[in-house]
Amino acid sequence: MTAAQAAALLQPAPQYAIDTKKLNLWYGTFQALYDVDLRIRQGMITSMIGPSGCGKSTYLRSVNRINERLGYVRIEGRIDVMGENIYDPRVELIQVRKQVGMVFQRPNPLPISIRDNILFSHRLHAKGGGDVHQGTPDEIVEESLRTVLLWDKVKDRLKRKATELSLEEQQKLCIARLLPVKPKLLLMDEPCSALDPKGTEAVEELLWELRGQYTILIVTHNMAQARRASEECIFMLMGKVVEHAPTEEMFVTPTHRETADYIEGRYG
């Protein structure tokens, strides 16, 4: 037994926030995901990369079941979130959405005040039982905004419309408004693609802050971002998972030809 193996044995077994088994997904007759098996480590940042149309956004959208809104989507297989199959018929969709927060490419704050944006989700879920922030509204607003490093910038204009903020601030707000209902997972679909480099850096910093407390799954087109801002990386191609490895490993010694070609920018 080598030292490395011994060290591995001493580590607790890895916990998985998402455990996907044989996930197949069709849009009508077009199959977008083929036998996806993915286990996402709890408390870590995992990035998903791959060319457009490779299925990474589709996968992300399956994890909070927003795909189903399109009537022509068919799904086989299962996705366990924190050990529970979210496609079980007994599962309440509203609870899935509460536990699994989603951040979009284009910041989409609601056209109400900053304060009301933060409290929106909390107001929906506070009376429904389950784990939510127990503080007063003022505490919730302050804590959430502090977590996303926005409090000092906006504390004097909480009553102003959220749509007046800069894109970077809006995106941070969109992350902050998920926190009061204590989601287990944060899904981010290219959260920085509408931001300038400075905003991107700020959001990436925020991801590192949230790491550990939340499991974060982030889809990105930006290879440098995947490398900087994630611990594990998944490369997808044509609806299949090609490679899933610690980020550093994948970028330095990819085990698949396609991965190497993609991260070196030979296609994409």
What is the contact surface with other proteins in residues (CB under 8 A)?
64, 66, 69, 71, 93-98, 101-102, 104, 106, 108-113, 120-121, 124-125, 159, 174, 177-178, 181
What minimum distance in Å lies between the beta carbon of 185 and other proteins?
A: 12
Which one, 106 or 146, has the nearer CB to other proteins?
Answer: 106
Which one, 188 or 250, has the nearer CB to other proteins?
Answer: 188
Give the integer Cα–Cα distance in Å for 87 and 78: 6
Which one, 55 or 109, has the nearer CB to other proteins?
Answer: 109
Which one, 64 or 247, has the nearer CB to other proteins?
Answer: 64
Which one, 124 or 149, has the nearer CB to other proteins?
Answer: 124
Q: CA nearest 96: which of 108, 110, 79?
A: 79
What minimum distance in Å lies between the beta carbon of 245 and other proteins?
A: 29
Give the integer Cα–Cα distance in Å for 247 and 225: 11
Residue 142 tokens, joined: 């302050």
What minimum distance in Å lies between the beta carbon of 158 and other proteins?
A: 12
What minimum distance in Å lies between the beta carbon of 260 and other proteins?
A: 35
What minimum distance in Å lies between the beta carbon of 172 and other proteins?
A: 15
Residue 129 tokens, joined: 């039982």
3-state helix, strand, coil in the chain (%, to 5): 40, 25, 35
Half-sphere exposure at residue 56, Cβ-oriented, CA atoms within 13 angstroms: 25
Q: Which residues are within 8 A (CB) of 59 and not within 5 positions of it... i.e. 6 or more apart?
A: 20, 23, 33, 36, 38, 48, 236
